[in-house]
Structures are given as structure tokens and as C-alpha cells.
Structure 1
């Protein structure tokens, strides 16, 4: 692991970044276990653009998440976790209440897929013109590593996710689908290392693939058991 890249990922930095304008050309890709979608309209103000990963280690019982973004203090609004319950990532046109809602539903025994469906169905969508539910992106993993992820059709391009056993990577305003693909590959190829190093390896792989096209300023890792 490169110490300089680890420092860049885990420390908040005041760096100059270029402005980003979402593409007007939508793209979509889908395959088994993966649903990737892009924005058809520009968000009214900068969303919580980021890429994140949720992962589970069946050997230790640890689960957690990692996130990186051009947004300052990104961990505050993205990562949510509770020991013996699960971990959640909330981002894009974010409603941070999705985090505690998801943990409460997981704690009641609801499966991740049902949690995602329930939260989306009950979203009051109070600001549809400026902060629509169709722009939400979030991932929910239970204490056994089962995971479900949703990317809304209005999450800013490029937006999407990739899931596999015990892992899900998701992001928006990314360089392309290779960001989340590389993250999942890095997580799986570091099997046997501590979960913290696997999550960090995934962030580094996502950044190497282009990451958040606007730059990087903050990152966070959260692990529970």
C-alpha cells in the first residue's frame, strides 16, 4: 500500500479542483448482479458526489464501509453502521435519514432488499423539483453480508453500482463504470487481509480508475463487529 496515496485518501485536503458539468448523453449498462444507470438531467446544486464500498469479512464477522469524495467531511453523511445489525451508505441526491431508517429496519429483521424497497416507497419526496427521490443512491448490508443497492435514474452521470457476494461498490459523478468494477475487484483480490486494508485498497483502486471526476478532498472508513 502506497503511504502517500493512503494519506491522500484518509486526510481532508484543501486542493483546487475543476468544475464538472454532467454529460447530456445518458448511458445505461446492466448485467446479472449489477444495475448501472446515469442521469438524464442536471442536479439543482452539487449532490453528495462520491464513491463508496460496503464489505463483510465472514472470517472475523466484521463489516464496514469506506467512502471518498470531493465533498468535505464526506463520512458524516454517507456511512452508517451498528454492530450486529448492518452498515449503510447514503449518497448522491442524498436523504441522510435513509441511514438510521435502514439500520432500524435491519434491526427489526428485514432483509436488505426489503429495506431498500420500503425506504424508497415511504420517501415523501418533499422537494421533487430540486432534490428528487429519483436521484437517491444508497446501499444496505446486513450483519451476514447480504447486500442490496439502489441507484436512482437522476443520480448525476456517471452513476451506478456493482455487487457481488459480501460487497457492493457504488458512486456518482464518476469517471465511468470502471471505478466501481475496480473497487469490487480490489476488495475481492485482497481476501485474507484485515477488512480495513481491503476497504482502503478498494478506494485506491477506484481513484486509480478516475474516481470522482471533480477531485478528492475527504475520505472515511467505518467498521463494526
Structure 2
């Protein structure tokens, strides 16, 4: 019912994900990210939000993506109905696709990039997301992720069509970037439109002043403060 991508941005050290589905609220259901842990995309026929949250907890406590995936899958008798993609803070990845998920289903994982999906028109959707992200290195990280899921839509998409889309990016030196389209006839286009609206100088000036993991006391005393 979903296709998703998790990626590591070598230039900034940020971790991000994007997803789209033919159901409501993909951002709330699928994507989780923590700059001190990594990212997860928990999806499938019967997705487990518990997997997504527990994966971040385990990786924050030092488990690798592979160790975390193995522990979660082995402990859940419903794992055959679920799909999980993980990325730890080192950019290491792991992916599980349960056999009871609806075809077409597929995942591709390498260091710094993992793409997965189920209920797709064909596995070409995953290949298109993967190859488009790899070929878009000159674009900003946010645009690379959106372009990747646009390619997945163009390659066949969720075979029911799409209803929601989301983008989530975290980093120790930046504020979380969390955009969600929970219900729309063209959710990926709406997501790109929202992202473009968020590029306004005023919004970016505000983002540059909010606390981050590496600078939790922003703005420093005496600096201009901007209200949300």
C-alpha cells in the first residue's frame, strides 16, 4: 500500500525520508526519524507503528540497522504482513518484506539509501525511485527525495492511486523538516508545492534560529527572535 525512500545526505549529514500511499496519513503511519537514532519506514498490509518507534529506540541505544531489524522481525509473529526499512546514523541500512504483503512488493538497500514498497503496479516503481535518487546528486536533499517518489508515481505507483504523501528530514545541526499531505487527489504534487512554499526567506530565517541537537540554546541572548 506504500512506497518509501530513506536516504543519508553526505553533504550535510542529515537523514531523510519520503513516502506516498493510496491511503490516508502516510507521514503519521510510516515515517519516523531522530537525528540521534536514524530513520524508519514501517509499512505493509498491516503496518506496525510499534516497529517504527522501537526501531528508533534501539538504534539510539547503539544497535545497528541490521541488528534492529533482526530483533524486531524475529519477535513479531505478524512480521509476514509487514515491511520495514531502517537507516542508522552511520547511513547503514536494512530492509524486511513479509511474504504476505500484496504484490508487487520489493526493496533495495545499500549504504546510504533504502527504497521499499508493496501493493505496487510493478517492481519498476522501486527501481525508478532508486535510480532517480542516485541520478539527482546535484539537487538539494529535499528535492532529491521528492523527485524520487515522483519517479515512483510515474513508473506505476500504488496500483490504487495515491492519497497521501510525506517528507521528513532530521539532522543534528538543523531543525526537523516535516511536511505532510494527509489527503489529496495529487498528494506528491501538493507535497512539492508545500515544500516550495517553505523555501521563503522568512521561514528559513526562523528555522535557522530554533534549537538543534548541536546548538540547543538558540537563539543566543541578544539575537533577534522571530515568533512562529
Same fold (TM over 0.5): yes
| 1:205 matches 2:151 | yes
Return structure 1 stretches of 4+ with deviation > 4 angstroms: none
Q: Residues of 2 paired with 1:99 and 1:173: CA distance?
A: 20
| 1:119 matches 2:65 | no
Contact 2:92–2:110 under 8 Å retained in 1 = no
Contact 1:77–1:90 under 8 Å retained in 2 = yes
Q: Residues of 1 paired with 2:56 and 2:123: CA distance?
A: 28
Name the structure 1 match of 2:129: 183
| 1:144 matches 2:84 | no
Give the 5 Å matches for 1:15-94: 49-92=1-44, 93-94=46-47
In our comparison, the structure showing a higher alpha carbon Rg is: 2
Q: Residues of 2 paired with 1:204 and 1:187: CA distance?
A: 10
| Cα-to-partner distance string for 1:26-74 (whole Å, 9 max, x where unaligned) | xxxxxxxxxxxxxxxxxxxxxxx11000011111001111000111111
Return 5+ residue gaps in structure 2 as ranges: 172-228
- How many Å apart are 1:177 and its aligned residue? 1.1
Name the structure 1 match of 2:107: 161
Provide the TM-score with structure 2 as the length reference.
0.73
Q: Residues of 2 paired with 1:84 and 1:194: CA distance?
A: 22
Give the structure, 1 or 2, with the largest relative contact order (CA under 8 Å, sep 6 or more).
Answer: 1
Q: Residues of 2 paired with 1:71 and 1:194: CA distance?
A: 28
Q: Residues of 2 paired with 1:143 and 1:115: CA distance?
A: 13
Name the structure 1 match of 2:119: 173
What RMSD, in angstroms, separates the aligned Cα atoms of the two structures? 1.0
Q: Which protein has the bigger helix share?
A: 2
Find the residue that maps to 2:143 and give its secondary structure: helix
| Cα-to-partner distance string for 1:81-103 (whole Å, 9 max, x where unaligned) | 00132000000121110011000
Return 5+ residue gaps in structure 1 as ranges: 1-48, 126-131
Name the structure 1 match of 2:181: none
Give the 5 Å matches for 1:205-224: 205-224=151-170
